[in-house]
């Protein structure tokens, strides 16, 4: 098995690293403190092809794979986890339109999303439907032959109140997963409104708010795919979304490891650098080993998605569960190595810790990931395919 990157993959990763170092890392602390959404910087990233990484090139997407996307989000998150995470959400919106939308919808929506002239948000979670996404209550009803009318609300929406278009999962049929459909709702749609901006522990460089629908009317052509297909689209989106957010955790852990390794060689106690103490060396060894394991799981899941592996749901859940838990712990260890300075905002470690914490909750909580993984193993026992599932 070849674990090396191709020349093109290396070039894409290095380009994203350079962009992050020049445009994200110098400003990440200020954006976090001021809750500033850097639209101009996103558009610079889009000019490099990073707003439609794994969308087709017909309307301006980059046409790359999920492995390249993982490399990009890992590299960008080393500069700013929060900013990179929003870009991953925007990419998922663009990909879903490109993959499942009509030709008319794709031609109308994608070019301005790929340049980030317009920003996209994804709306699945509701106040009463988080981990149990299939129980969502937001409803869309056809009125006449030309319009859908939406009623309900979505919670914890990144870009809420700021984005230009919202990809919304709403119920058009019965209470099962097969009763869910997907729609695009432009920000100027009548009946669309937003809650107050949430005050959050982390992810402060991206706005978050409820998205509310009160007889919100949209043209029928803004439905994505057929009625009843929305939950299938959402699950396919989550396979990739879990890999993306795990990759963002890798980037945050990378920044923390680099900062800690540099700090312990400079900080002296008892007459010598704390890097000389065995306890410090053991910590660094465990941090980097756990990082390598996380990285391999994320890359394996991205490879599985690129190659239509039938176990991709299992592998993406494993990668998301392990990498987001483990990378948060790595950053916590980096903070500990900094001592009291790690608790100070000027050093940046506490911001990474806050930003990575939510990764263990979104795209399906890590408790849900464990259930998905266990169900896959138990099904393999029933099917007699356990060896292949491990």
Q: Which residues are catalytic?
A: 363
Q: State residue 387 phi and psi, 5-degree precision.
A: -60, -40
CA distances 180 to 20, 234, 313, Å, are 38, 10, 20
- How many CB atoms are closer than 10 A to CB 238? 21
Structure tokens at 123: 């709306």
Contact predicate 159/39, CB 8 Å: no
Residues near 211 by Cβ (< 8 Å), separated by ≥ 6? 121, 123, 153, 154, 157, 160, 161, 166, 168, 192, 194, 195
Q: For residue 286, give the H/E element and its range.
A: helix 278-306
| Nearest CA among 166, 163, 150 for reference residue 215 | 150
CA distance 335 to 332: 5
User: 198-207: b or e for each residue (b if 16 or more CB lie within 10 Å)?
Assistant: eebebbbbbb
């Amino acid at each position: 098995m070849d674990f090396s990157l191709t020349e093109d993959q290396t070039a894409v990763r290095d380009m994203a690293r350079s962009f992050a170092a020049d445009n994200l890392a110098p400003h990440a602390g200020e954006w976090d403190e001021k809750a500033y959404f850097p639209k101009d910087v996103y558009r610079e990233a889009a000019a490099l092809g990073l707003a439609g990484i794994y969308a087709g090139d017909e309307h301006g997407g980059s046409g790359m794979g999920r492995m390249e996307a993982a490399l990009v989000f890992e590299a960008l998150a080393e500069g700013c986890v929060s900013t990179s995470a929003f870009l991953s959400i925007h990419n998922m919106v663009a990909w879903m339109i490109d993959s499942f939308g009509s030709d008319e919808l794709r031609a109308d929506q994608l070019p301005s999303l790929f340049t980030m002239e317009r920003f996209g948000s994804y709306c699945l979670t509701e106040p009463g439907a988080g981990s149990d996404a299939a129980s969502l209550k937001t409803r869309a009803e056809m009125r006449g032959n030309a319009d859908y009318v939406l009623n309900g609300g979505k919670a914890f929406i990144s870009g809420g109140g700021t984005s230009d278009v919202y990809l919304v999962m709403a119920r058009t049929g019965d209470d099962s997963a097969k009763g869910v459909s997907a729609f695009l709702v432009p920000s100027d749609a009548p009946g669309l409104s937003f809650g107050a901006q949430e005050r959050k522990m982390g992810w402060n460089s991206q706005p978050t708010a409820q998205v509310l629908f009160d007889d919100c009317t949209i043209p029928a052509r803004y439905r994505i795919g057929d009625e009843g297909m929305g939950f299938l689209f959402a699950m396919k989106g989550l396979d990739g979304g879990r890999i993306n957010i795990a990759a963002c955790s890798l980037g945050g852990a990378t920044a923390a490891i680099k900062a800690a390794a540099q700090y312990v060689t400079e900080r002296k106690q008892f007459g010598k650098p704390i890097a000389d103490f065995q306890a410090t060396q053991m910590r660094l060894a465990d941090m980097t080993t756990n990082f390598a394991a996380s990285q391999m799981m994320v890359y394996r899941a991205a490879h599985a998605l690129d190659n239509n592996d039938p176990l991709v749901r299992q592998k993406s859940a494993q990668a998301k569960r392990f990498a987001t838990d483990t990378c948060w712990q790595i950053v916590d260890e980096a903070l500990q190595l900094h001592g009291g300075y790690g608790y100070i905002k000027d050093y940046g470690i506490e911001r990474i810790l806050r930003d990575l914490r939510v990764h263990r909750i979104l795209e399906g909580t890590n408790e849900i990931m464990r259930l998905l993984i266990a169900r896959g193993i138990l099904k393999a026992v029933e099917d007699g395919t356990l060896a292949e599932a491990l």
